[in-house]
Amino acid sequence: MAATVEYPCFGSGEPTRLAAKTIWAVAAELRRRLLGAVVRPIDVKDLIRRTGCLRVNGRTLNVAWDIEHPVHDEKGRRVLGICEHDPHEPGTVMISLNAEFLSDQPELLRSTAAHELGHAIFDMPAAMTTGTARVFRSRVQARNSGAPIDWREWRTDEFMGAFLAPKRQLARSFVREASAFGAAVQWKVIEEIPTPFVSARKAGGAAIDAIAGALAEEFGVTESFIGVRFRKYGLVC
């Protein structure tokens, strides 16, 4: 049975301008429907099995995954992954992950898979509706921090972050690890939701790094990934 995904969109299937918290909610709900509420690193092969068919805002999205081959762009340069739609395959979105580069980097494999899944969910329904070819490539090199924001990439990065480490699950684990490392947990209300946080100045860098390391292992991501989620979710101030 296809998992369902819903978010505000136009008649074409193109998303409206979504706030980060809306994207986080979409990602967390899809993860819950696919994998349940247990905290664990996502198994990419299991994710692939469960996302072969999705229903996105009432549209059927067949996702064909390939994790067996190297992936390159049109100039032959290595990329982490590609999400694409070919009008000759009207009901299908293709996601390719670079097995040659990612096979021994499980954290990067997870984040790339979730990122490309985000493109499939948010960017491909409109392409399928209009019969438009569309391709997104995840580059090996870091993006230029001085470049203008690419809102489609921002959207999929927010989806990826919340899919791999949903806010509520991460917050619960954060309280446990903060207490274990002797960091004083305080609480604040963010949009009517009680949220735990730790003062980086009071806790110290060593404690914050230790908490991030423990949570990175628990969620199967990198410490830098967890550091971004700390900032995005307001868990460390």
For 192, the domain range is 167-233
98-156: per-residue pLDDT in tens?
988 898 999 999 999 999 999 999 999 999 999 989 999 997 765 555 668 899 999 99
DSSP 68-105: SS--B-TTS-BEEEEEEE-TTSTTEEEEEE-HHHHTT-
First vs last Cα of the chain: how many Å apart?
42
Of 164, 183, 208, which residue is a domain's last? 164
Say how many domains are in the chain.
2
Of 118, 137, 164, which residue is a domain's last? 164
Beta bridge partners of 61: 54
- In angstroms, how far is CA 170 from the centroid of its own chain? 14
Q: Are residues 113 and 207 part of one domain?
A: no
Query: How much of the chain exceeds pLDDT 70, in percent?
Result: 97
Of 135, 164, 193, which residue is a domain's last? 164
How far apart, in whole angstroms, are the C-alpha atoms of residue 140 and residue 160? 17
What is the torsion angle, in degrees rounded to the nearest 10, for the CA atoms of residue 21, residue 26, residue 29 and residue 34?
-140
180-194: per-residue pLDDT in tens?
999 999 999 877 788
**H-helix or E-strand containing 187?**
strand 186-190
Q: Are residues 180 and 156 part of one domain?
A: no
**How are strands ordered across the β-sheet holding 3-5?**
3-5, 53-56, 59-66, 92-97, 79-85, 134-139
Q: Are residues 116 and 57 part of one domain?
A: yes
User: pTM value?
Assistant: 0.94
Q: Are residues 137 and 218 part of one domain?
A: no
